[in-house]
Amino acid sequence: MNVIGTVGLPGSGKGEAANVAEEAGIPVVVMGDVIRAECRRRGLDPAEHHGRIAGALREEEGDDAIAARTLPLIREAAAESDREAVLVDGLRSTVELERFRDAFGDDFTLVAVRAPFELRAERLDERGRDDSDSDLEALRERDARELELGLGETLDRADVEIDNTGTLAAFRRRVREVLGVADGEASEESADGGAAGDADPDPESDTDPAAPNAGGDGS
């Protein structure tokens, strides 16, 4: 089993990479799902308490708590799929990276998805999921929280880098190359030739920004 993890700042394109994997039948495990499940277990709304509960899990179970809880989800997804790869969306810290490397050894590949601040800001503004998506200062603060958690060092330790500054078609093609997916295995591409943004469905740093450690472990 090959396990492919993705890391990138908000709006870089991690969510689109996950979409490409799903279209090719490769299971996707989102690390933020662990936090959402824990929020629900504690009777809390994930939309309001995602960041706080992620911090609580690290305090209670160690800095690699999210990765540790993700491991059985990865193995379950692999067991239920006939594909030889699983994509893990949402790495933030080097502690999480080391946990996955310890678990999967040479079968783990970390992929960094990169795009400059201005382009990421433009994509998030176009996405417009909430007011913070169009607030440049909020994005800078969000980046700072992610980097403080260790995302910058994790990006630098990636095995493969994908530059997402071109067209959507070019980005999706490069993702398929990294996943080892032939063009015919993926569903038809969108006709939109724009650059690929980040679906980023529920990043921890989007919610509960005042909470400690509110910078990671979303998707």
Would you say 9 is a known binding-site residue? yes
**Adjacent-strand bridge partners of 6:** 89, 111
Would you say 13 is a known binding-site residue? yes
Q: By the 8 A CB rule, do 218 and 50 touch?
A: yes
Would you say 197 is a known binding-site residue? no
Would you say 14 is a known binding-site residue? yes
Radius of gyration of the chain (CA): 16
Q: By the 8 A CB rule, do 32 and 50 touch?
A: yes
The tally of CA atoms less than 13 A away on the side-chain side of residue 150 is: 16
Specify burial of residue 169 (Cβ count, 10 A radius: 0-12, 13-18, 19+). Answer: middle
Would you say 8 is a known binding-site residue? yes
Would you say 166 is a known binding-site residue? no
Would you say 10 is a known binding-site residue? yes
Would you say 51 is a known binding-site residue? no
Say which amino acid occupies 145.
R
Q: Which residues sit in the known binding site for ATP?
A: 8-15
**Binding-site positions:** 8-15
